[in-house]
Structure 1
Amino acid sequence: MITASDLGVRFRRNRGSRRSFKDLFARGVRRARPGDFWALRNISFTVQPGEAIGVVGRNGQGKSTLLKLVAGVLFPDEGRVQVHGGVAPLIEITGGFVGDLTVRDNVQLTAGLHGLGKREIAARFDSIIEFAGAGDVIDTPFKHLSSGMKVRVAFAVISQLDEPVLLVDEVLAVGDKAFRAKCYQRIEELLAEGKTLFLVSHNERDLRRFCTRGLYLNKGALVLDGPIDDVLAQYAEDHPV
């Protein structure tokens, strides 16, 4: 189960400005400073185990920020989020992977960080490499891979984890048709196993295929939480093509 209560995340517009020690020390103070803006605010929802959630909204509306909060890689300035069980995040193509390490080393490192033991990693290693089609680059540094191959390796590893929550942020938009078909099949298998899915996508077909419920974000606010068809209809009405 995932429970979010009055979540709020505040950023600074001027990314070039450096925070002073005083700024860092006073981080707990909720008063906004000049140049601050709320990427998300007053976000509350509950997700039951096994639900498939589509997160909808234009670019820059807080979708990826929300996934990072659920993943635990970003902490809220207001409210809290509780996740019962581990999370398998596929939020950024290279997120969690070390560029100078080989594909082999990255697979072992990432799987190990998510709690798999040496025997479990060894048992799943060949399947991961085969799924990614990475046999020819297994000893190549990750940073030298194409963007498409990075996605292949990342998805192959994350989808083999035992974590109950899968976070996917636009990754299905990258890669060739054959690989996307493999990803779709794997996601359907994970959902059949009772995994919880958070999917950020602009592709209505993908959202309708996998998700039964949607969260519609606009300007950092939760506009609608409901059946995915209703959420997509409201989004389309608010932002006609």
Structure 2
Amino acid sequence: MDELAIRVIDLGVRFRRNRRGRRSLKDLFAGAKRRTRPNEFWALRSVSFEVRCGEAIGVVGRNGQGKSTLLKLVAGVLLPDEGSVDVRGGVAPLIEITGGFVGDLTVRENIRLTAGLHGMSKTEVARRFDGIVDFAEIADFVDMPYKHLSNGMKVRLAFSVVSQLDEPTLLVDEVLAVGDKAFREKCYRRIDELLAEGRTLFFVSHNEKDLRRFCTRGLYLDAHGLKLDASISDVLDAYNADSAAR
């Protein structure tokens, strides 16, 4: 497909190292062109790329180089300080696995709440409820408070809800690293199905096998910028070579 799913132009976002770096009203009105204070740092800067509909993109890099930050910017969870992010259609984010779930509510109530927050109507939630529960393998726990689920159950539930969304772009951040082998294989099959439907995948992982399985193209983040945009094989080779040299 030739249509763009994501366009990122000169993207930059900065964070404060401590609370003393909190911006004043004067700073806020001054805009993004002001100088960076000593206790601020750029998590990402001058990042540009395009993703076409149906592509499967793997994002690699050492910890702290901005991979998860990039996904949050694409998801709209964070706003850039410089540049722009344009996303066609909505996104189905698997970024912070427990985000949106409320501990004291039951699993049933959380499915309705979280699916609704992602844009599903009450009718859609009712129609897909059994499928979500069955995929997550938690049929015996739907009336239990969410906070009493094991971490593995929470992961299964989150993936199950998000994978039922009809959004054209799926954002995945290391979620497949959690859970048992059988459920990971189930997740892999579901991702294969979504890709076969023409969905776009934006996938952050340190698992080279997963990256090679799903992705055809890679983005290598280093020094808080985009070091390489190439085939997933070339990107992984470059990343591995840099890692061995360090």
TM-score of the superposed pair, with normalisation by structure 1:
0.95
Match of 2:215 in 1: 211
1:35: how far off? 0.6
1:144: how far off? 2.4
Question: C-alpha distance in 2, partners of 1:99/1:88?
Answer: 22
Which of 75, 86, 90 in structure 2 is aligned with 1:86? 90
Aligned length: 240
**2:14 is equivalent to residue 25 of structure 1:** no
Deviations 1:46-75 (A, max 9, x none): 000000000001111100000000000100
Q: Name the aligned partner's letter for residue 193 of structure 2.
A: E
Compared CA separation, residues 17 and 150, structure 1 to 2 (3 A)? farther
1:141: how far off? 2.2
Deviations 1:73-102 (A, max 9, x none): 100000000001000000012112222222
**2:12 is equivalent to residue 12 of structure 1:** no
Question: C-alpha distance in 2, partners of 1:163/1:27?
Answer: 37
TM-score of the superposed pair, with normalisation by structure 2:
0.93
SS of the equivalent of 2:201 reads: strand
Question: C-alpha distance in 1, partners of 2:149/2:192?
Answer: 27
1:27: how far off? 6.7
- Percent of pairs identical after alignment? 70
Q: Name the aligned partner's letter for residue 228 of structure 2.
A: L
Compared CA separation, residues 170 and 10, structure 1 to 2 (3 A)? same
Which of 67, 80, 84 in structure 2 is aligned with 1:63? 67
Which of 146, 168, 171 in structure 2 is aligned with 1:167? 171
1:119: how far off? 1.6
Q: CA RMSD in A?
A: 1.5
1:239: how far off? 0.4
Match of 2:113 in 1: 109
Q: Which runs of 5+ in 2 are unaligned?
A: none
**2:52 is equivalent to residue 48 of structure 1:** yes
Q: Name the aligned partner's letter for residue 191 of structure 1.
A: L
Compared CA separation, residues 218 and 27, structure 1 to 2 (3 A)? farther
Match of 1:233 in 2: 237
